[in-house]
A and B are shown apart, each in its own frame.
Chain A
Amino acid sequence: MSSTEQGTSSAAPAEPTTAPESAAAPEVPESFYYVHGKDKVVHKVSAGALQHSALIHGMISNLGYTEEQAKANPFPFENIDGDILQMVVDWCNQHKGKPTPPEDTNLPKQKEKLFDLVLAVNYLEIKELLTYCCKQVAMMVKGKSPEEIREIWMIPTDAEDEAAEKEAKKRAGKEAAGETAAAAGDAK
């Protein structure tokens, strides 16, 4: 796997700083982890920034990886596009160790990516960012008529919903019939 460090990660890995002798408590060097999306581009993210993601935080909390081990084992998120993962990593870095404000002005500006971003953020369990994204999606239909909402949110009509439901039932029926036939074949 070819790995490229980007964003904050494109800078040289932070060297552990030696604590000044006069300091009362020695500074614990920050640990870093590596993640990559569908595009295999590896992003280096500090554990502090990753705390925003309940999913990743849960994964790393008991690993105790060394820098080398972490680098050798980046977390793969094959279901997330590279540019979306980049947005998420940037957001986590910007909000590292800071209380999140009620309104976020640093949200990604590319609205066409909002759908993928919501899915990624929901998957990674980044509560605050999901809240901001959901607010942004809700704002898309503010003051709009039902017909406008249908267009903006691509809501299927009742007839389309019914047709999709029928189709799903048909498919489920076929699958069940296939499974029964396969089971009968196995029994023979």
Chain B
Amino acid sequence: MSIPLTRFPVLVQEKILDFMDFYDLYSFSETSKRSRSLSKRSAKRHEGHMKVSLHRCLKLKYKSSSHPNCNLKINLEDKGSTFENLEKYLSIRHSSLFVNVTISLKICHWLFDFDFTLITFDHLAQLGYPLKKCYVEGFKNNEAIVRALITFRKAERVDMSIEPTTDFEKFDFVTPFTESLENESLQILYPDWVSPWHVNNVFNKCREVTLSDRMFSFAESDVIEILKSWRTESSIRTLILTFDLAGSIEDFGAKMVEMKAKPVQEAASSMEMKRQRRWGYVSSAWLLKQINTGAEVLVTVGNYPHEGTRKDLHMKEEFELEPENR
């Protein structure tokens, strides 16, 4: 049975489209230019997420977050597509349809024109597409690290997996960062190039910062510098890194007490922590209070006996203490 939709008054057409889920609305928008234009209004009622993958070819997958079936997806681009299609689909052809869209991005800096990628995403951010998750990987490139971090400074989550070059110390990792990053979560897999200055002045507006590398450790003095600066001002509430203990844990504790941190005992509240302790993981903990906000975090320093002076540092906002510390 057919029904001539376009012969309904426009308000009725809009009401009908308002009852459609995003996937049907998208299919309808593909029927003609006029349909696409008509879909714009109703599309604003939906929210979704776009997965952009730039590995050998461009893949775009859209998922409507308001649809009850979480397995439905729109595959916008297929194998063999070029990066130019991203602009075509998002900023030109469908920008009006994919309105409340967050984007996750997976890119390799050597496979695509990296400059063009960054310019496009800068443009998309200006168009109002919030970037949700950016996973950036690549092979030893200092400039790519800096440029990608700056471009994705407002993305909700950034996973930076590009390694710096072996002579990264000759590269200027300071001057290009003229403003702080604002990621909810920032993970740097190869943080060799990261200094306390970066944590205190560039990552200071991030919420969770993970600087994890099994091959790299910060110096104890770096950690003290970071924590001292944090006390004064920082939005970081979770910080994970590894460092080399310069002396004994008691000496480190004395430096923490100097910062007015209170030594406490963390409760093994999770299964993971209980398992760690069974395997001999030993940790010390301090409560550290931020002067300007009064925010309190738990700083734990610990390791397994075989790890020697190499210690894991965890700063966390949510924690549980042993009863005697409460």
**Size category of the binding interface on chain B:** 20 to 34
Contacts of B15 in A (CB 8 A): 130-131, 134
Closest to B30 in A: A146
Asked if B279 is at the interface of the complex by the 8 Å CB criterion, the answer is: no
Contacts of B35 in A (CB 8 A): 155
A134, B12: Cα distance in complex, Å: 7
**Size category of the binding interface on chain A:** 20 to 34
Contacts of A118 in B (CB 8 A): 8, 12
Asked if B9 is at the interface of the complex by the 8 Å CB criterion, the answer is: yes
Asked if A143 is at the interface of the complex by the 8 Å CB criterion, the answer is: yes
Interface string of A142-180 (1 = CB under 8 A from B): 111111011111111110010000000000000000000
Known: A134-B19, A141-B27, A144-B24. A122 touches B33 (CB 8 A): no
The segment from A61-69, A99-107, A108-116 found at the interface with B is A108-116
Which label, helix, strand, loop or mixed, suits the secondary structure of the A interface? Answer: helix
Interface string of A11-53 (1 = CB under 8 A from B): 0000000000000000000000000000000000000000000
Contacts of A144 in B (CB 8 A): 24, 27
Closest to B20 in A: A138
A143, B22: Cα distance in complex, Å: 11
Contacts of B12 in A (CB 8 A): 118-119, 122, 130, 134
Which label, helix, strand, loop or mixed, suits the secondary structure of the B interface? Answer: helix
Are A151 and B2 in contact, CB atoms less than 8 angstroms apart?
A: yes
Closest to B11 in A: A122
Asked if B166 is at the interface of the complex by the 8 Å CB criterion, the answer is: no
Q: How far is the CB of B248 from chain A (nearest CB, A)?
A: 67
Contacts of B52 in A (CB 8 A): none
Are A134 and B4 in contact, CB atoms less than 8 angstroms apart?
A: no
- Please list the residues of chain B having a beta carbon within 8 angstroms of any beta carbon in chain A: 1-9, 11-12, 15-20, 23-24, 27-28, 30-35
Q: Can you report 20 A-B residue pairs in the complex whose CB atoms are below 8 A from each other? A: A115-B3, A115-B8, A119-B8, A131-B15, A134-B15, A138-B20, A140-B3, A141-B20, A141-B24, A141-B27, A146-B30, A150-B31, A153-B3, A153-B4, A153-B31, A154-B4, A154-B6, A155-B32, A156-B6, A157-B32
